């Protein structure tokens, strides 16, 4: 009675929503720094959230920018959770003290992810351009947990941290987070400009994933999440995963501060606007989403035995670096 | 497992019926076609996702303070099927839901 395949979903299950684009940090890998600063007025945002809830979306993950710099974040989150949406966010943690954590809980946040780039404070601080940010990010994890919010750590893997898996795991265990997310490096925004300094070579990616998968299998009491389809090359994708390849445009969608919808935060193609357009219609009819859902193997993917699982890897990365969604993921170390 | 125990959906599970898929299944059923492989709803909880077919959805909706026996009786009033086969299928499905944490037994 359960199926191997997903039905044609009428709407995304989850939406990553950048409600603002202001930030108090200056990270070298930021994908959105150069993005729009136009923000939706509160009443328009509210009616957009109503639209999203009505379309059947389960959850909203607020991002940005730094969502806590939005003056009305708490009211907006409370409004969204009042509509039955599950609300979470990603933050740099700077503004989360004990009182703020309690307010976030009150507003309905069930999960908050904090970005940590390194176990070493000086590395994290210099990468983020703000002294003391590491200490405050760690403190935020404590405040959130004590307020009853499930926490996670998000780490974008790049040159400064790819060989420190054990140390990052130790931080996650120490802070008793629910999940440690190792995100692949996307090469969008500043990530593209700083690619040569930050990105790993395919061989280094292979080493990183080998070690991360080993940690995933040995570390108890911590969910280590790897969202990169190319781990299919190491036979590490969970059997029975309903979605092959990237989940973007299949389960999730991204909305920018001005309401523009894009397949994911790292693909800068606008496929509609939440204020103007019907979400279900865009989800169903967008030619861009259609292309992402029906990728065709090109180049080395054509003969690859992992294609059914991997579907050419991360579509955002392929598009950013080659201009073609169907190109093999540039991080792929396969032949 | 005690078959008299009441079953409850885990309140943490987010789920929705997929209207279009469901409408398609209704049409197929009217034409007498097999619809077992067609997902009509998705359930999602804590990173686990499940796609369920038409009968799975009916059972899922009945998991509201009913025992296994009561679920089976409800279904028997809707579908013309052999009771023992149905009971086995329902039991297997409920086991899967329970193992994934989607339902709870009181
Ligand atoms: S060759 Fe293509 S399909 Fe195969 S693992 Fe690499 S990116 Fe994935």
The domain ranges of chain B are 7-105
Q: How many CB pairs under 8 A join A and B?
A: 62
Is the ipTM here above 0.85? Answer: no
Among A184, A233, A315, the mutation site with the greatest number of ligand 1 atoms within 8 A of its Cβ is: A233
Cα–ligand 1 centroid distance for A312 (angstroms): 5
Q: What number is the average pLDDT over the span A86-103?
A: 96
- Tell me how close the Cα of B5 comes to any Cα of chain A, in angstroms: 22
- Tell me how close the Cα of B18 comes to any Cα of chain A, in angstroms: 6
Axis-axis angle for helices A73-82, A42-55 (nearest 10): 30
B7-105 maps to CATH 3.30.1490: no
Cα(A267)–Cα(A319) distance, rounded to whole angstroms? 8
- Tell me how close the Cα of B13 comes to any Cα of chain A, in angstroms: 10
Which residues, numbered 17 to 46 in chain B, qualify as contacts with chain A under a Cβ-Cβ cut-off of 8 Å? 18-21, 37-42, 44
Q: What number is the average pLDDT over the span A184-189?
A: 70
Question: Does pLDDT of A32 surpass 60?
Answer: no
Question: Does pLDDT of A30 surpass 80?
Answer: no
Q: What number is the average pLDDT over the span A60-85?
A: 93
Cα–ligand 1 centroid distance for A60 (angstroms): 31
Among A306, A311, A325, A333, the mutation site with the greatest number of ligand 1 atoms within 8 A of its Cβ is: A306
pLDDT at A217: 92
The phi, psi pair for A270, rounded to 5°, reads: -80, 125
Cα(A321)–Cα(A312) distance, rounded to whole angstroms? 14
What's the pLDDT band for A26 if we cut at 50, 70, 90? low
Partners of A183 in the beta sheet? A156
Decide which of A187 and A98 is more confident.
Answer: A98
User: How crowded is residue A242: how many other Cβ atoms within 10 Å of its Cβ?
Assistant: 19
User: How crowded is residue B84: how many other Cβ atoms within 10 Å of its Cβ?
Assistant: 9
Is omega for the bond preceding A65 within 30 degrees of 0, making it cis?
yes
Give percent of chain A with pLDDT exceeding 90: 73
Q: What number is the average pLDDT over the span A280-295?
A: 96
Q: Residues A138-175: pLDDT tens digits? A: 999 999 999 999 999 999 999 999 999 999 999 999 99
Which of the 8 DSSP states describes residue A248?
B
If you write DSSP's letter for every residue of chain B in order, what string do you get?
--TTS-EEE-TT-EEEE-HHHHHHHHHHHHTT---TT---EEEEETTEEEEE-HHHHHHHHH-EEE-HHHHHHHHHHHS---HHHHHHHHHHHHHHHHHTTSEEE-
pLDDT at A197: 76
Candidate from A3, A13, A58 with C-beta closest to B37: A3
pLDDT at A256: 93
Cα(A319)–Cα(A50) distance, rounded to whole angstroms? 32
pLDDT at A240: 58
Q: Do B55 and A1 touch (CB under 8 A)?
A: yes
Q: Residues B20-77: pLDDT tens digits? A: 888 888 888 888 887 778 888 999 987 788 999 989 999 999 999 999 999 999 999 9
Cα–ligand 1 centroid distance for A314 (angstroms): 10
Q: What number is the average pLDDT over the span A11-30?
A: 77
Q: Residues B66-79: pLDDT tens digits? A: 999 999 999 999 88
Question: Does pLDDT of A190 surpass 60?
Answer: no
Burial of A306 by CB count in 10 Å (0-12 exposed, 13-18 middle, 19+ buried)?
Answer: buried
Give percent of chain A with pLDDT exceeding 70: 92
Question: Does pLDDT of A334 surpass 60?
Answer: yes
pLDDT at A236: 77
Cβ contact A125:A137 at 8 Å: no
B73 touches chain A (CB under 8 A): no
Mean confidence (pLDDT) of chain A: 90
């Amino acid at each position: 009675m359960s199926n191997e395949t997903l039905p044609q979903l009428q709407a995304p299950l989850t939406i990553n929503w950048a409600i603002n684009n202001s930030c108090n940090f200056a990270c070298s890998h930021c994908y959105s720094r150069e993005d729009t600063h136009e923000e939706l007025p509160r009443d328009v945002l509210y009616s957009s959230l109503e639209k999203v809830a009505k379309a059947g979306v389960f959850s909203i993950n607020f991002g940005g920018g730094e969502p806590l710099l939005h003056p009305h974040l708490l009211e907006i989150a409370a409004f969204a959770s009042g509509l039955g949406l599950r609300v979470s966010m990603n933050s740099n943690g700077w503004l989360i003290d004990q009182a703020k954590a309690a307010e976030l809980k009150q507003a309905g946040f069930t999960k908050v992810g904090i970005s940590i780039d390194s176990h070493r404070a000086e590395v994290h601080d210099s990468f983020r351009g703000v002294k003391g940010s590491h200490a405050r990010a760690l403190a935020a994890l404590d405040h959130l947990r004590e307020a009853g919010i499930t926490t996670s750590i998000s780490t974008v893997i790049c040159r400064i941290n790819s060989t420190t898996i054990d140390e990052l795991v130790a931080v996650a265990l120490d802070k008793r987070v629910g999940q440690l997310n190792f995100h692949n490096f996307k090469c969008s925004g500043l990530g593209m400009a700083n690619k040569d300094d930050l990105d790993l070579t395919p061989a280094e990616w292979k080493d990183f994933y080998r070690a991360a998968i080993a940690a995933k299998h040995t570390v108890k009491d911590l969910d280590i999440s790897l969202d990169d389809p190319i781990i299919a090359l190491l036979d590490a994708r969970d059997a029975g995963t309903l979605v092959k390849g990237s989940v973007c445009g299949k389960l999730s969608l991204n909305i920018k501060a001005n309401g523009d919808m894009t397949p994911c935060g790292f693909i800068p193609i606008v496929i509609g606007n939440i204020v103007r357009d019907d979400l279900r219609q865009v989800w169903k009819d967008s030619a861009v989403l259609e292309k992402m859902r029906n990728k065709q193997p090109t180049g080395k993917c054509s003969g690859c035995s992992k294609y059914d699982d991997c579907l050419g890897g991360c579509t955002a990365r392929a598009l950013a670096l080659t201009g073609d969604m169907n190109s093999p993921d540039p991080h792929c170390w396969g032949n | 497992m005690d078959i008299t125990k009441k079953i409850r959906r885990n309140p943490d599970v987010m789920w929705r019926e997929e209207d279009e898929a469901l409408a398609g299944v209704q049409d197929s059923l009217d034409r007498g076609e097999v619809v077992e492989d067609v997902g009509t709803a998705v359930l999602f909880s804590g990173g686990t996702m499940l796609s369920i077919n038409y009968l799975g959805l009916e059972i899922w909706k009945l998991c509201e303070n009913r025992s296994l026996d009561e679920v089976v009786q409800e279904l028997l009033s809707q579908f013309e099927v052999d009771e023992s086969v149905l009971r086995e299928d329902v039991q297997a499905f409920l086991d899967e839901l329970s193992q994934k944490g989607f339902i709870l037994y009181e």
